[in-house]
Amino acid sequence: MSNLLIENSGTTQKIIINRPDKLNALNRDTIKELSTAITTASKDDNVKAIIITGSGEKAFVAGADISEFNTYSIEEAKDLAKNGQDILFDLIEKTEKPVIAAVNGFALGGGLELAMSCHIRVASTNAKMGLPEVSLGVIPGYGGTQRLAQLAGKGKAFELIFTAGMIKADAALACGLVNHVVEQDQLMDKCLEISQKMSNNSSVAIAAAIRAVNSGYVDGENGFDKEIEEFANSFATGDFKEGTTAFLEKRKANFPNN
Ligand code: COA
């Protein structure tokens, strides 16, 4: 994992992209390493939540590594986007443990796409976000056209993509692109506070909620039907029995699967 640092804080795992000299730009190796790290964390029973951030104080991720793809053919570009979406961006979105992006600085292009594939985003006040691809003669390829429209609305997505501009953290908060904005020195504490709150709840139910929410964005699937299915399946879990019993006995739940 030469491009990543992994740190555990209780049941939360921090995955830190560590290419500060290149503003943590995502080259192919970093994408593969991130994919492996997320897969490993998602199978680790001791990890209940994941935080992804960038090393240094300047950048979360300043985009896909432009130096790697500027000579690509159509076929190579297609492979780059498809492979990246499959092994990392879609993988994160479907990870059945909460994934939080701690956006600690520039989140541009593939960097914003990475943050948008996470379930929750917390930005520091110095963060700047944008999809500058059209200024390079290309469009976002790691899901940015879809996820930005989902999070911030179609009009905002069109404006940000067409202008290739950057917005500050408070503007990102106002349009729903990020969940919270805090000072940079409080960013990790805020993310850990959120993951701590989640860790008291049923991890089995959280996984079901991730599947149900995601289903509404999958072509050909009906999110409401998926919700009914996941809701019903919950009734057969030990976590449901414990959660409802604990409530009726006026005590704190001790979820068997946590
Ligand atoms: N791909 C490859 N290298 C990148 C990069 C990217 N997306 N973003 C930054 N870097 C590298 C720079 O080339 C530079 O490397 P060098 O020191 O070897 O020359 C280093 O990171 C520092 O970046 P620099 O541009 O000098 O920092 P800055 O403070 O002047 O500007 C940005 C910061 C974020 C505004 C600027 O780096 C930038 O515009 N990056 C590209 C953003 C982008 O278009 N992303 C979408 C890609 S699809």
pLDDT at 258 (0 to 100): 85
Residue 90 has pLDDT above 90, yes or no: yes
Going from the Cα of 236 to the center of ligand 1, the distance in angstroms, rounded, reads: 51
Q: Is the CB of 141 under 6 A from ligand 1?
A: no
* pTM higher than the cut 0.95: yes
Of 59, 159, 153, 151, nearest in space to 110 by CA: 59
183 carries an active-site annotation: no
User: What are the pLDDT digits (tens) for 124-156?
Assistant: 999 999 999 999 999 999 999 999 999 999 999
Q: Is the CB of 111 under 6 A from ligand 1?
A: no
Average pLDDT over residues 46-61: 97
Residue of minimum CA distance from atom 22 in ligand 1: 22
User: What are the pLDDT digits (tens) for 162-211?
Assistant: 999 999 999 999 999 999 999 999 999 999 999 999 999 999 999 999 99
Going from the Cα of 22 to the center of ligand 1, the distance in angstroms, rounded, reads: 6
Sheet holding 59-61, edge to edge: 59-61, 106-108, 128-130, 166-168
Residue 1 has pLDDT above 80, yes or no: no
Residue 30 has pLDDT above 90, yes or no: yes
Residue 93 has pLDDT above 90, yes or no: yes
Residue of minimum CA distance from atom 15 in ligand 1: 22
What is the residue-averaged pLDDT of the chain? 97
Q: Is the CB of 109 under 6 A from ligand 1?
A: yes
pLDDT at 102 (0 to 100): 98
Residue 42 has pLDDT above 90, yes or no: yes
Average pLDDT over residues 58-72: 95
Nearest-atom number in ligand 1 for the CA of 131 is 46
Q: Is the CB of 62 under 6 A from ligand 1?
A: yes
Which residue out of 68, 133, 229, 230 is catalytically annotated? 133
pLDDT at 202 (0 to 100): 97
Q: Is the CB of 142 under 6 A from ligand 1?
A: no
229 carries an active-site annotation: no
